[in-house]
Chain A
Amino acid sequence: MSSEAKIRLDRVEKKYHGTSVPAVEELSLDVHEGEILVLVGPSGCGKSTTLRLINRMIEPTGGKIYLDDEDVTTVDPDKLRRRIGYVIQQIGLFPHQTIAQNIATVPRMLKWDKARIAARADELLHLAGLDPEIYRDRYPKELSGGQAQRVGVARALGADPEIMLMDEPFGAIDPITRERLQNEFLRLQAELKKTIVFVTHDIDEAIKMGDRIAILGERSVIRQLDTPERILAFPVDQFVDDFIGAGSTIKGLNFEQLSGLRLGGYPTIRSDQSPQAGLEALNESNKTWLLVVDEQNRPMRWMREGDLQQSTGSYQDEGSEVRIRLNAEDTLFDSLEQMLQSESGSCCVVDRHGALTGVVEMAHLRRAIRRAQVEARRHYEDLEDNA
């Protein structure tokens, strides 16, 4: 939150001729350097219009737009747009130009020399995961939808703009390819650290892509602007709550890693210990299940009291096998999914050698959810107090 505003909208407004209600009403918004800010809202809320006000594809009728504290509300719009990468849902590759020519569009306008343009095109193709040798001289019609979208992003990155505007960039792509492109893009962004404004109508995409999310209502009024975690934990009003829809609690589990949980003790015995020792350990705890671990402390089998009583002490084929082991970097959502599948209703967390570091139970998740909600509520109460 401390970072400078890379893009600042100051009471920007768009009113169309002959209408009394503005399409975008006095919108003020800061986009921080290096973040992905997602504009999300129901269709017709003006989120695309808002995006297009930033590169003045639509001219605002009021307010100011600043890039790096420079007022760009009245500069030459063509020059402004060459500084800003722009990706749209339909991509709009130029069908009569090769992939390399498409990617070189902005560098060519900026009059880079030929060698530099060619090198940049190859570099961007690499970045987009397309082999330049194969794709450089192809035409857009020879690409699949996913490849075309990658080229669209590469083209927007052509002259290495610091800012990218993306209008439902993955909206027209099948769900499997979309997920892959989203992941690729996030990996790319981790390297490139562009300042990105991203429009979508899909709250799940917003949650996945956004460092922060602005949920927009009618006339592009910001209903809530915050990190996805906080929005999921504490929707400020009914509109936001309805928009993020059912399952927001579960979606929120995606944002916390298992490393953030304090896992208490769990009854275990080593495989060379007797079932009797196991029964004692189980009775000391108030748990239903016990874990049998091997010499390296790797979890092997889940055992209940009855299993231990009938055990021969070899523990082979007794109780049930530990099938899933999660790491500290996995999310609470991952653990929930495994817990629902596991007979014990719990899930083992191991270190990188496979040794048991803890067991996640439902109570841990409940506590984590409550903590996130309390924190988010406190954050908003503090904001109110300061206001």
Chain B
Amino acid sequence: MDGFSSWFAYVGDHWSDVLTGTLEHARIVAIVVVTATVFSVILGILVERHPAARAASLSIAGIFLTIPSLAMFALFIPLVGIGNPPAEIALFLYAILPILRNTVTGLDSVSPAVVESAKGMGMGNTQQLLQIRLPLAWPIIMAGIRISTLITVGIAAIAVLVGGDGLGGFIQGGLTRLGLPNSYESVWVGTIFTVALGLVLDILLSLAQRLTTSRGLRI
């Protein structure tokens, strides 16, 4: 019980820092997810019907995810300096695979008969893509975006190590003075608000998914 009350006291004392940290964290996630979505969906559309390019891009995006995050974040410091940019680039690379994979899978899942009938009625390739294939793949693409968002929220806590913002600051601050007063509280603030941010974003995206998915596709 003592732990809880001291945690709440800590949050109360540092409320404005917590809020700032959460908003900074959310901002990084938003930038990363939006750019990764645009990039991955376009890439997915381009490679979907070309087996070699598709296999290559999926493998490369998969390799990004296996690079340890500590190293990945540091790798971009020589290129873009310290601060948020190296963190955002690293997170962007992590966020690609789920969206790319789901874009390709989503486009694959569109029934060939539907595409055939669209083509047979005189829809050009762009019309087929924008009016038929993307709307039908959309729920699956959205699922990929949600996974990427959750991954990004969690890993973004490491941004602090390369001089970035976000809730990672509370965790790192607590770890460096572990055992001292309020150190555990600080770690828990970073952790819990990160998790909470992830949950909130996921709920918002699931609402967005519902609103942007045709009633004809809902189960």
Residues of A within 8 A of B (CB): 55, 57, 77-82, 86, 88, 90-98, 105-106, 109, 139-141, 152, 155-156, 158, 165
> Which 9 pairs show the lowest CB-CB distances between chains A and B?
A92-B117, A139-B216, A90-B113, A96-B214, A82-B122, A86-B120, A81-B122, A92-B113, A78-B122
The answer to whether A106 and B136 have CB atoms under 8 Å apart is: no
Complex Cα gap A141–B136 (Å): 14
- 27 A–B pairs (Cβ distance < 8 Å), ordered by A: A57-B116, A77-B122, A78-B124, A81-B119, A82-B122, A86-B117, A88-B116, A88-B117, A90-B113, A90-B116, A92-B111, A92-B113, A92-B115, A92-B117, A95-B114, A95-B136, A96-B135, A96-B217, A98-B216, A106-B121, A109-B121, A109-B122, A109-B127, A139-B214, A140-B216, A155-B117, A155-B121
Complex Cα gap A82–B127 (Å): 13
The answer to whether A97 and B116 have CB atoms under 8 Å apart is: no
Complex Cα gap A214–B119 (Å): 26
Given contacts A80-B122, A93-B114, 12 further A-B contacts (CB under 8 A): A57-B116, A82-B122, A90-B113, A90-B116, A92-B114, A92-B115, A96-B135, A105-B121, A106-B122, A109-B122, A139-B214, A155-B117
Known: A82-B121, A140-B216. A91 touches B132 (CB 8 A): no
Known: A80-B122, A81-B122, A109-B127. A92 touches B216 (CB 8 A): no
Give chain B nearest CB distance to A335 CB in angstroms.
43
Chain B's interface size range is 20 to 34
Give chain A nearest CB distance to B128 CB in angstroms.
10
The answer to whether A94 and B122 have CB atoms under 8 Å apart is: no
State which of B121, B124, B216 has its C-beta within 8 Å of the C-beta of A95: B216
Tell me what chain B mostly uses at the interface: helix, strand, loop, or mixed: helix
State which of B119, B124, B136, B217 has its C-beta within 8 Å of the C-beta of A57: B119
Complex Cα gap A90–B136 (Å): 17
Interface flag for B45 (CB, 8 Å): no
0/1 interface trace, chain B 104-118, chain A, CB 8 Å (1 if under): 000000010111111
Known: A90-B113, A140-B216. A96 touches B136 (CB 8 A): yes
The answer to whether A95 and B217 have CB atoms under 8 Å apart is: yes
Interface flag for B123 (CB, 8 Å): yes
Residues of A within 8 A of B111 (CB): 90, 92
0/1 interface trace, chain B 28-46, chain A, CB 8 Å (1 if under): 0000000000000000000
Give chain A nearest CB distance to B71 CB in angstroms.
43
Complex Cα gap A88–B119 (Å): 12
